[in-house]
Structure 1
Amino acid sequence: MSNQAVANRYASALFQLAKEKHDLKKIQEELQVVKSVVESTPQLVQFLTHPKVTVAKKQAFIQESFKGLSNVSLNTILMLIDRKRTDILVPMIDKYKELAYAAQDMAEAIVYSTKPLSEKEQDHIAKVFAKKAKKSKLDIKNIVDSELIGGIKIRIGDRIYDGTVKAQLDKLERNIVAGTR
């Protein structure tokens, strides 16, 4: 069985447990913190996958490092360590986020802009594009991309709304090369 399939199963089980406890959002936020720590700390991944470090030491380290996590989140991570499945931690978190967003009629929107967007601008984009995505709410993640020249590009799932100056210039170039207007 592929790692993604295993990650999906763990995420589904965690999602069902979180749903029963009415903690979808809290657990999702906690897991995003864990994901950012794992992705920004390669030494942690090396430690968790090192064959000479005992499972007990790995679990003790995680318990000490992530004291603020709920029992559900912490026990899930400890179980992955016990079953030697820490390699699926990030894919499991991503799948859980997908399931939690679907249950809350939400989606993540990645907004590329030339400068950081204010809260007011992000709220406006969330309201306008939530309707287009047929969701009740969007979670905006702003990424600054200086190559855009101006405007914004929004990615919601597999859909891209590109209102950047760079995209318009590229389209104009293609039309000129093709000989059309």
Structure 2
Amino acid sequence: MSATTVARRYGKSLLTLSKEQNAVDVVEQDMRALIEAAKENRELSTILASPVVRPEKKEAIVRSVFAGAHDLTTAFLALLAKKGRAGLIAHMAEAFVSLVREERGVVLAEVVTAVPLDDARRSEINVLIGKVHEGGVELSETVDPQLIGGFKLRVGDRMIDASVFESLRTLHRNLTNNPYEPAY
């Protein structure tokens, strides 16, 4: 079974447990914090994924690092570590957040721009997405100066690339693949 499938199953289990304890919002905040911690601290991810570190040690690390989290979060993460699945913790957290989004009818929209978005542009993008998707929108913003201008927008499996970089690349491709041949 793939790691993604296993992580999603654990995410579903955590969602079910958090619903039973009316703690979905708190656990979601914990999972979002965990995702950020995993992105910022590669050492933590490396230790949790390492086959050299014993599961008991991983469990102790998880309990100490996530001591301030909700009891359900800490217990669930410790259980994953104890069962030898600590390497999946970040993937499980992402799966959990994705499942919560699905249940709430919220879609994740990822926008990449050359410069940070101002409130007016952010609002325009939300309105644009709202025309296509009913329900809420969670906007994830990334700045990539290589785009030169414009934006890339990904909503679900749809992608719009309206960047200057892509326009220049398309123009270059068209010019190099279409050699000029005089008609004389």
**TM-score range, shorter-chain basis?**
0.7 to 0.9
Q: CA deviation at 1:47?
A: 3.5
Alpha carbons of structure 1 residues 138 and 37: separation in structure 2 relative to 1, 3 Å: same
Cα distance change, pair 163–22 in 1 and its aligned pair in 2 (3 A) = farther
Which residue is equivalent to 1:63?
A: 63
In structure 1, the residue matched to 2:86 is 86
For these two proteins, the number of residue pairs brought into alignment is 177
Match of 1:130 in 2: 130
Query: Cα distance 1:144–1:92, how it changes in 2: closer, same or farther (>3 A)?
Result: same
Residue number in structure 2 paired with 1:75: 75
The RMSD of aligned alpha carbons is 2.3
- TM-score under structure 1 normalisation? 0.83
Q: Could you say which residue in structure 2 is the equivalent of 1:163?
A: 162
Structure 1 stretches of 5 or more lacking a match?
none
The 8 Å contact of residues 47 and 53 in structure 1, kept in 2 or not, is answered as: no
TM-score, length basis structure 2: 0.82
Task: Name the residue aligned to 1:141.
Answer: 140
Report the secondary structure of 1:154's partner residue: strand
- Indicate conservation of the 8 Å contact 2:55/2:83, yes or no: no
Partner of residue 98, structure 1: 98
Please say if residues 109 and 137 of structure 2, whose CA atoms lie closer than 8 Å, have aligned partners that are also in contact: yes
Q: 1:52 & 1:162 partners in 2: Cα distance?
A: 43
Distance across 2 between alignment mates of 1:31 and 1:147: 31
Secondary structure class of the residue paired with 2:137: strand
Aligned to 1:29: 29
Deviation at 1:53, TM superposition (A): 4.8
Q: Distance in 2 between matches of 1:141 and 1:52?
A: 34
Counterpart CA distance in 2 for 1:39 and 1:114 is 22
The Cα shift of 1:135 comes to 3.6
Q: Is it true that 1:3 corresponds to 2:3 in the alignment?
A: yes
* 8 Å Cα contact 1:126/1:137 also seen in 2: no
Once the two structures are TM-superposed, the CA of residue 105 in structure 1 deviates from its matched residue by: 0.6
Question: Percent identity over the alignment?
Answer: 25
Change (3 A) 1:64 1:122: same
Distance, in Å, in 1 between the alignment partners of 2:124 and 2:25 is 22
Q: Deviations over 1:13-44 (max 9, x none)?
A: 11122233444343222112112212332322
When residues 9 and 112 of structure 1 are mapped into structure 2, their CA distance, relative to the original with a 3 A threshold, is same
The offset of 1:52, in angstroms, is 5.1
1:57-101 alpha-carbon deviations (Å, 9 max, x no partner): 443433332233112211111111111111111221221122111
Give the SS at the match of 1:90: helix
Give, in whole Å, the separation in 2 of the partners of 1:91 and 1:47.
Answer: 15
- Whole-Å separation in 2 of the counterparts to 1:46 and 1:169: 39
Take 1:32 and 1:103, find their aligned partners in 2: how far apart are those partners?
16
Residue 112 of structure 1, CA deviation: 0.7
Q: Which moved more, 1:75-84 or 1:158-167?
A: 158-167
Any stretches of 5+ residues in structure 2 without a counterpart?
A: 180-184
